[in-house]
Amino acid sequence: MPLTDREDHTDTLLLVEDSDTQALRIRRMLEGHGFHVHRVASGEEALDTLDERLPGLVIADYHLPGMNGGQLARQLRMNAVTRTIPVLILTEGIEPGLEREGLESGADAYIPKSSDPALIVFRIRALLREHAAHAPSLLPQRVFRRARIMVIAPEPAHRRAVPELIDQLRRDGHIVTLCPDPARLEPSLLHDPDHVPDCVVIDLACREFDGLEVCRRLDEWRQEDLLSGNVPPRILGVDGAPRPDAKEFSARVFEAGIDDLVSRDVGPAALALRIRVLVRRKLLQDDVRRIEVERQAREIAVKSARAEAAAIASKASLAEALEQANRELADANRKLIETQGKLVQTAKMASLGELVAGIAHEINNPLAFILAHKDTVARGLDRVIGMEADCADPDHDSRAAILNKCRDRVGSMNMGLRRIQNLVLNLRKFSRLDEGLFQLIDVPEALETVMALLTQKLGSGIVVRRRYEAPDRLYCQAALLNQVIMNIISNAADAILAAQPDDMSVRGGIAEGEIEIHTFLSHNGEGQDSYVFVITDSGPGIAPDVQERIFEPFFTTKPVGAGTGLGLAIAYSVVQAHHGSLSVGRAPQGGARFTISVPWNAGPAGEGGPSPSVHPSSITRAE
């Protein structure tokens, strides 16, 4: 059963058993308790499977072909990744010291195969619990490899100890290669990560090559390889020849770069043990280097992540600052447009005021002249009519009729001239150039001035109802009434006209509607009363979604070219300058309802206006 990525490695057991019968029995027992079991027949095959996936626990028979269970445990303990994997050794052997040898090799438990299956399962679960906290997961790269050993010696036929040593090393789980001719070695050998040896064993006593020269060459290669950061291989020399200069030879050997010198007389087992020590140190250094590289990679990744996060935060800060700058710029642009619109409207109103004042002045001079001469003519006619009354001429009656007719016409002229005089007076009042100053005004008189100027727009079909319940006097700017009230009433008239049937003008009809102006005082209970103007009309009203925008500059509901969108914006600004409020709603009859509220000030001391304690008079007028 192969190991797959879908299985939890902590529940996967690696069973190393060469007997098919024993393997089948143990496997069925373990799978019956919910474990996933992967079985191999030898220790070498078990080591090769560790590159694919790490098991949660290894169950190995002690007596295996090739390396035994103890040697397998020793190989697992030599690698940093597999060092923590629990190893359970099963055996039928009863040799004395076998359990001690297995435990000393690195196994975690030793249980006879004849033990109760429940006991075996309990021991496995206990070992898995200890291992679960730090069990490694599947890694994408190779995490375990067997040690590689190169033996530089003549052919085995020439040396009987060489085959024995190679067999012993292979039983220990190492990958062993034999190099009988060191002249074929190349420097690239140390640069190939898949074939570079962890330990090189050199026969120094052979006559086929110079062992010291081979040591020097290998040491030079590995010194060059040190620059790349790799852990250099270990070099072990084997010498057994009698030498008179044994001490000097040993010094030359270590000077040549060898790491350890062993006599061939110690035997293959002891020699393999010395090699095992060198390999263990080499593999531990490999693990340390790999861990350090991973740590540096993690640090670089963390620094990169932090730098990227800082860059993102900086970009976000810049984006936020840019967005804030854009908002401020848009707000400044909006205020600039509003100010420009107000300036344009103010300039237009100032120009209009000067123009109206000039026209009124020009009209007023000849009007006064005509009125003065009209009175002279009227008095002359009266004298002539009196003289004619005393005359006995036969044509007296006809002349008297002509004179009476002339007197009637002079009376009619007088009425028309008085109307012109009133219109000029209203224009002069509306166009007063001191409108930027606070002054005491007569509210009903100012409202009637506005009505007189809008007579043509109101026509004869729109009825204006007045309910003046507030005091007559108000200390304010003239523009509050002259401009604000006029804009609102003019818009109300336009709304009433727009709501008439399309064929009204064709049928010669008259627009019908009603506008009401209501003034009163509002008592808020805090000692400051408000002077309130309420203007309602019978037009179609203002849609709720438009009511919040009608005070924006250049916003209008009129057709293109019919309005500038500045009238209500200017009115709103004027009311705000008086610390008041201007709102819009729906009238009871369905039209629009504009409410203007400003703090009531009857005028400064000495102006002669009524004080706030005077009760307002009730005035009701209709037209």
Same domain for 167 and 250, yes or no, is yes
In a domain, 579, yes or no: yes
Q: Is residue 328 part of a domain?
A: yes
Q: What is the mean pLDDT of residues 437-455?
A: 82
Into how many domains does the chain fold? 4
**pLDDT value at residue 63:** 86
What confidence score (pLDDT) does residue 559 get?
58
Q: Provide the β-strand partners of residue 36.
A: 12
By CB atoms closer than 10 A (0-12, 13-18, 19+), residue 272 is buried
pLDDT tens for each residue of 263-319: 877 888 888 888 888 888 887 777 777 778 888 888 898 888 888 888 888 888 888
Q: In this predicted model, which residue has the larger pLDDT, 177 or 343?
A: 177
| Domain boundary residue, one of 88, 112, 134 | 134
Contact 450, 412 (CB under 8 A): no
For residues 130 and 19, membership in a common domain is answered with yes
Q: Looking at residue 143, what is its pLDDT?
A: 59
Higher pLDDT, residue 125 or 460: 125
CB 515 within 8 A of CB 591: no
pLDDT at 513: 86
Residue 345: domain span: 321-431
Are residues 192 and 123 both part of a single domain?
A: no
Same domain, 159 and 119: no
- Answer whether residue 566 is part of any domain: yes
249 and 243 in contact (C-beta within 8 Å)?
yes
Which one of 101, 134, 167 terminates a domain?
134
> Are 392 and 340 contained in the same domain?
yes
- Residue that has been written with the tokens 């991973």 in this structure: 294
Domain assignment present for 307: no
Residues 545 and 453 in one domain: yes
Residue 105 sits in a domain whose CATH number is: 3.40.50.2300
Residue 166 covered by a domain: yes
pLDDT at 502: 60
User: 453: Cβ–Cβ under 8 A, 6 or more apart, which residues?
Assistant: 426, 427, 430, 486
Are 417 and 472 contained in the same domain?
A: no
Mean pLDDT estimate for the chain: 76
Q: What pLDDT score does 520 carry? A: 92
Q: Rounded distance, CA 269 to CA 286, Å?
A: 25
Same domain, 126 and 154: no
Is residue 108 situated within a structural domain?
A: yes
| pLDDT tens-digit series, residues 166-204 | 888 888 778 888 888 888 888 877 777 777 888 889 888
CA distance 203 to 253: 12
The conformation of residue 97, written as its DSSP 8-state character, comes to T
Residues 584 and 443 in one domain: yes
pLDDT tens sequence across 556-605: 666 554 555 556 777 777 787 778 888 888 888 778 899 988 888 766 54
Same domain, 444 and 591: yes
Answer with the one of 413, 431, 449 that is the final residue of a domain.
Answer: 431
Residues 173 and 126 in one domain: no
pLDDT recorded at residue 359: 65
The predicted model scores a pTM of 0.41
Kind and range of the H or E run holding 460: none
CATH assignment of the domain containing 571 = 3.30.565.10
Quick one: average pLDDT of 52-64? 87
pLDDT over 70 at 500, yes or no: yes
296 located within any domain: no
CA neighbours closer than 13 Å in the CB half-sphere of residue 315: 6
Residue at 221 is within a domain: yes
Looking at the structure, tell me whether residues 469 and 578 fall in a common domain.
yes
